[in-house]
Amino acid sequence: MAITDYLIRNRQLYGDEVALVELNPDIREDRRVTWKEYDLIQPTEKQPYRREITWRVFDEKANRMANMLISRGVEKGDKVAILMMNCLEWLPIYFGILKSGAIAVPMNFRYSADEILYCANLADVNVLLFGPEFIGRIEQVEEKLSKNRALIYVGEGCPTFAESYREMVADCSSADPDIYLDYNDDAAIYFSSGTTGFPKAILHNHESLIHAAMTEQKHHSTSRDDCFLCIPPLYHTGAKMHWFGSLLSGSKAVLLKGTKAEYVFDAVSREHCTIVWLLVPWAQDILIAMESGQLKQEDYQLSQWRLMHIGAQPVPPSLIKKWKSYFPHHQYDTNYGLSESIGPGCVHLGVENIHKVGAIGVPGYGWECKIVDENGNEVEKGAAGELCVKGPGVMTEYYNDPEATADVLKDGWLFTGDVARYDEDGFIYLVDRKKDVIVSGGENLYPVQIEDFLRKFEKIKDVAVIGLPDPRLGEIAGAIIEIKEGMECTEEEINEFCMDMPRYKRPKKIIFADVPRNPTGKIEKPKLRKMYGAEHLIADETEG
């Protein structure tokens, strides 16, 4: 069995029912339209831009995509990358790749031109599909990208260096390509990074994807009557694997383009959404809007909304307490996972365990967990050690990197690199990250990348980037900067220099101070976190 079999089943059982809806409240008249088969409802004050497809059309689109790839010589095991923003085309393209027997390779929409090229080479990508938002970035590296791979453009006004997706699939059959697949076949490559910031290519098979669907459906009891509101990007395992619960149950899902609090309420109300996955900042924005009176529950149809769950970063217990004061009937869950464990769900709190908010939870459906010391021995309750997980969703390998694979996969156990502990009831709490990755608003920031960039500034002698606590984003990037002797530098100069860095990577806090290093030359980041972490949080709360 393969994950694509569920799409075929849904077409047979629920063909005329709505599978996916795209909502874009910020639609502009000059927006590039990428799918013209459906009438567009013009946006008004009360009606956002909206498109939808049924399960039958979903499957037909996936089949056309698969048959197009096969006609172009794509074979089983080839790699086809997707570089697109969330849209109605995304999932049919993803499933079309899988139906062709190829391996889907979703890419982060924040990648720079160089990162796109790096990841395409790392994963041996044969075909790259990209949307209108990425024309400029692809063009910068087009000469190197197109040497050994096809570039296919999904949108209006195809650039000269690419081929048009719409023209290529127009005459392709909508019948299933009938490529034999089973759970052992490779399915997808996702990208992750360690503290160095260099991505690793994470290979998963169809068993991983199927288990992700089963885990989501079991954890949140997703049924045919549910409607899942999906806001995060589909390139990430988190969003897609939560949507897999809808695939398994054959229920509708809504792709919302925009994170404003009023957009979330409006989408839940109009589409009768029952399950919503939020990041901490979005949940906080909703609470702030409700406290200020900007959002009023009575203005929307929200009674059917039954579950709010959060992932990708630690969740403040105070946030959930406040949330429950507004939505006492809501179930709540939080999920822990890695791309190496096919995203969320290898550990989860469970809707029945809201009294344990603050913990990441217990082993998820079909998963095992253990916490070990430096020698690989399990620690006692209350003691800190490295969290390890084991289950059908563990990656096959880091693609073409046996050494890195051996570092984290041992006897079927995935060593996560996260330090955790058990409480007396067996619930798991994260203590710290062994890696230096900063999780800011659900996005990973890599200190080494930021440090390497800042060191190019002529006045900087040394720099260390750490995560500083932030009540909204969880963490922000703080740069401790040591200026060369005899020089003067201002925060404005640093910020101006950082304008050439992607916005989300720019340090949000600049601290001029010495950078401590140990005798072996390594930056003493634990000392810096202790020196500046709590101080920064207290100062911000005082100023606010």
The mean-pLDDT minimum among 194-198, 419-423, 469-473 falls in: 194-198
Residues 383 and 447 in one domain: no
Contact by Cβ (8 Å): 33, 42? no
Report the CATH number that the domain containing residue 317 is assigned in CATH: 2.30.38.10
Which range of residues forms the domain containing residue 369?
307-433
In terms of phi and psi (left: phi > 0; alpha: psi -120 to 50; beta: otherwise), the region of 231 is alpha
**191: which strand partners?**
201
Domain annotation covers residue 406: yes
The mean-pLDDT minimum among 10-24, 319-333, 466-480, 517-531 falls in: 517-531
Residues 48 and 84 in one domain: yes
Domain annotation covers residue 272: no
Short-list 505, 504, 44, CA closest to 266 = 44
Work out the burial of residue 486: count CB atoms within 10 Å of its CB; fewer than 13 is exposed, 13-18 middle, 19 or more buried: exposed
Residues 118 and 228 in one domain: yes
The pLDDT of residue 542 is 34
Res 139 pLDDT > 60:
yes
Res 212 pLDDT > 60:
yes
Res 433 pLDDT > 80:
no
The pLDDT of residue 221 is 96
**482: which strand partners?**
462
Residues 200 and 51 in one domain: yes
Domain annotation covers residue 288: no
Short-list 434, 475, 461, CA closest to 517 = 461
- The mean pLDDT value of the chain amounts to 89
Domain annotation covers residue 276: no
Please give the backbone phi and psi of residue 305, each rounded to the nearest 5 degrees, phi first. Answer: -70, 110
pLDDT, mean of residues 459-476: 90
Residues 101 and 225 in one domain: yes
Predicted confidence (pLDDT) per residue in 306-341, tens digit: 999 987 666 778 789 999 999 999 999 999 999 999
pTM: 0.82
The pLDDT of residue 86 is 94
pLDDT, mean of residues 220-239: 94
The mean-pLDDT minimum among 137-151, 422-436, 484-498 falls in: 422-436
Q: 237 CB contacts (<8 Å, ≥6 apart)?
A: 190, 212, 337, 339, 342, 343, 344
pLDDT, mean of residues 280-286: 86
The pLDDT of residue 48 is 54
The pLDDT of residue 518 is 59
pLDDT band at 523 (very low <50, low <70, confident <90, very high): confident
Write out the two tokens for 396: 């096959």
DSSP assignment letter at 148: S
Residues 80 and 129 in one domain: yes
Residues 332 and 223 in one domain: no
Write out the two tokens for 447: 């200190």
Report CA torsion sign: 355, 321, 541, 310.
Answer: positive
Among 433, 463, 496, which residue terminates a domain?
433
Residues 161 and 226 in one domain: yes
How many domains does the structure of the chain reveal? 3
Residues 108 and 145 in one domain: yes
Res 69 pLDDT > 60:
yes
Report the CATH number that the domain containing residue 523 is assigned in CATH: 3.30.300.30
